[in-house]
């Protein structure tokens, strides 16, 4: 197919608005699977938005993540983070590091965590319900749930998470954020983990960080720098996206009362509903780290020249009408589908199984233990943190109805 030679102009990130970014991205692409684009700073790239095209980009190893964030290239936003993490590596280096932690995130291992996750959910909701209404669901539930789970899994002191979360707010800045600020926060995070590793060496425990330290010290399967990088990546990736997904998913459910009523009436729909929320909900309106074409690549009829950078748009891929019937309709009873929220190929999200479990247990607990759950004020008054890659709420005030039923699990 032919492609318009005129690059589309990508506007600066707009303030977060629920359900608005996907239509805007679709309009920007104009029905094309891939389109040349120009960022406000003048840099050029390709936006890729169709399901098949996005999947090819993330699976085809001719599109290199490592070269896209290589030294000497101009990096912005999350590209800075990718350049200093496992997310900025290609196979075989990426594969070697991923294998060291993959066994902790298999479906069987993650499913074994379900009772503990359900227990944390119950504890957090019990504490939240004792607070005056409206209560902040972000601070009291959405954030501490994945934080506690990943901290227990890694062996990171939960008390240190406040500082780590402050760093992550900077690290996950959008592509307008000062790169020096992002690098400073990254270096501080790495320094924190270097100290944690030394503490774990002196006091080993039954956790993932101790196991990784063993892989470093006993088997020489990774360097000290790689050990630090893995720890930071796991802790950052293990809480930030899940916390924001809980909040954005709840906003989606509350804005679709008919679908929420279905879930309340049929809790067995929760696993399917979580997949639909993962497909439908957009966590951010910014651009993900790009990949560089190592040779000319044919992409759904469009030739991407060698050396050009492509950026996959997962949100539009998940709304592709050739794959999903009535894709802009939110339907909790939709048959589970192969959405691309967790990516695909070598960089498929390592924590996908854990994120699914946390979302399932979060909504199972909220719908059962907080009847009449609703916003504690107008949605228009919700405030998001500025300059973030992810739509990150400052707070999510909620109210609920009658006391929890006696004897409820």
Mean pLDDT of 300-315: 92
In a domain, 71, yes or no: yes
Peptide bond into 92 cis (omega under 30): yes
How do residues 188-199 score in pLDDT, each as one tens digit?
Answer: 888 888 888 898
**Token pair in block for residue 61:** 């190893």
pLDDT > 70: percent of the chain: 87
Q: Report the C-alpha gap between 383 and 190 in whole angstroms.
A: 30
- Alpha-carbon torsion 104, 109, 115, 118, what sign? positive
Q: What pLDDT, on a 0 to 100 scale, did the predictor assign at position 1?
A: 38
Is pLDDT larger for residue 321 or for residue 391? 321
In a domain, 271, yes or no: yes
pLDDT > 90: percent of the chain: 44
How do residues 151-188 score in pLDDT, each as one tens digit?
Answer: 899 888 888 888 887 888 787 766 566 777 888 888 88
Q: Report the C-alpha gap between 137 and 134 in whole angstroms.
A: 9
Q: What is the CATH number of the domain that holds 303?
A: 1.10.630.10
Bridging pattern class, strands 374-375 and 397-399: antiparallel
| pLDDT at residue 19 tops 90 | no
Based on its alpha-carbon atoms, the radius of gyration of the chain, rounded to whole angstroms, reads 21
**Token pair in block for residue 353:** 């199984």
In a domain, 406, yes or no: no
Is pLDDT larger for residue 248 or for residue 409? 248
Structure letter (DSSP) for residue 22:
H
How do residues 28-81 score in pLDDT, each as one tens digit?
Answer: 788 888 888 887 667 788 999 999 999 999 999 999 998 988 876 666 656 666
In a domain, 320, yes or no: yes
In a domain, 250, yes or no: yes
- CB crowding 360-390: b at 16 or more within 10 Å, else e: bbbbbbbbbbbeebebbeeeeebeeeebbbb
Q: What pLDDT, on a 0 to 100 scale, did the predictor assign at position 238?
A: 79
The confidence band for 127, taking pLDDT boundaries of 50, 70 and 90, is very high
Q: Report the C-alpha gap between 184 and 81 in whole angstroms.
A: 11
Q: How many separate domains does the chain show?
A: 1
In a domain, 409, yes or no: no
Please classify residue 94 by burial: count the beta carbons closer than 10 Å to its beta carbon, then call 0-12 exposed, 13-18 middle and 19+ buried: middle
Mean pLDDT of 3-27: 62
Give 67-74's long-range contacts (Cβ < 8 A, gap of 24+): 67/292, 67/294, 68/289, 68/290, 68/291, 68/292, 68/309, 69/289, 74/43
Q: What pLDDT, on a 0 to 100 scale, did the predictor assign at position 277?
A: 96
What residues make up the domain containing 163? 8-399
**Token pair in block for residue 123:** 């504890």
In a domain, 59, yes or no: yes
In a domain, 3, yes or no: no
How do residues 255-274 score in pLDDT, each as one tens digit?
Answer: 999 999 999 999 999 999 99
- CB crowding 322-342: b at 16 or more within 10 Å, else e: ebbeebeebbbebeebebbbb
Gap between the terminal Cα atoms of the chain: 57
Average pLDDT, rounded, for the chain: 85
> What is the CA angle 245-55-34, rounded to 5?
100
How do residues 74-100 score in pLDDT, each as one tens digit?
Answer: 666 566 666 667 888 899 888 888 888
Bridging pattern class, strands 44-48 and 309-312: parallel
CA distances (Å), origin 351, targets 274, 312, 357, 363: 15, 20, 10, 18
């Amino acid at each position: 197919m032919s492609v318009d030679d005129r690059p589309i102009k990508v506007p600066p990130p707009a303030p977060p608005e629920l359900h608005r970014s996907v239509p805007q991205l679709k309009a920007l692409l104009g029905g094309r699977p891939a389109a040349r684009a120009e960022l406000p700073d003048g840099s050029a790239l390709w936006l890729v938005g169709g399901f098949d095209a996005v999947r090819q980009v993330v699976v085809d190893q001719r599109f290199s993540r490592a070269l896209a964030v290589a030294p000497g290239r101009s990096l912005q936003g999350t590209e800075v983070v990718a350049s200093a993490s496992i997310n900025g590596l290609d196979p075989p280096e990426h594969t070697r590091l991923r294998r060291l932690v993959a066994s902790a995130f298999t479906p069987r291992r993650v499913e074994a965590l379900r009772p503990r996750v359900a227990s944390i959910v119950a504890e957090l909701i019990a504490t939240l319900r004792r607070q005056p209404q409206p209560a902040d669901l972000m601070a009291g539930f959405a954030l501490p749930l994945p934080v506690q789970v990943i901290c227990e899994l890694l062996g990171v002191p939960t008390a240190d998470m406040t500082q780590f979360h402050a760093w992550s707010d900077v690290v996950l800045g959008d592509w307008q954020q000062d790169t020096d600020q992002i690098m400073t926060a990254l270096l501080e995070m790495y320094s924190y983990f270097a100290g944690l590793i030394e503490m774990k060496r002196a006091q080993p425990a039954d956790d993932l960080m101790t196991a990784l330290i063993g892989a470093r010290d006993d088997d020489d399967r990774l360097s000290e720098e790689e050990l630090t990088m893995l720890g930071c990546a796991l802790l950052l990736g293990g809480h930030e996206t899940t916390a924001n997904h809980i909040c954005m998913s709840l906003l989606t459910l509350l804005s679709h009362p008919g679908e929420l009523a279905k879930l309340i009436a049929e809790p067995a729909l929760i696993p399917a509903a979580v997949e639909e929320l993962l497909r439908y909900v957009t966590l951010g309106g910014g651009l993900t780290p790009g990949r560089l074409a190592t040779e000319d690549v044919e992409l759904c009829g469009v030739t991407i020249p060698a050396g050009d950078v492509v950026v996959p748009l997962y949100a539009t891929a998940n709304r592709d009408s050739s794959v999903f019937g009535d894709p802009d309709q939110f339907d909790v009873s939709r048959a589970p589908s192969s959405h691309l929220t967790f990516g695909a190929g070598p960089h498929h999200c390592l924590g996908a199984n854990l994120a699914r479990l946390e979302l399932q247990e979060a909504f199972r607990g909220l719908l059962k233990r907080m009847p009449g759950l609703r916003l504690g004020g107008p949605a228009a008054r919700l405030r998001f943190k500025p300059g973030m890659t992810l739509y990150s709420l400052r707070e999510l005030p909620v109210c609920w109805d009658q006391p929890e039923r006696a004897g409820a699990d």
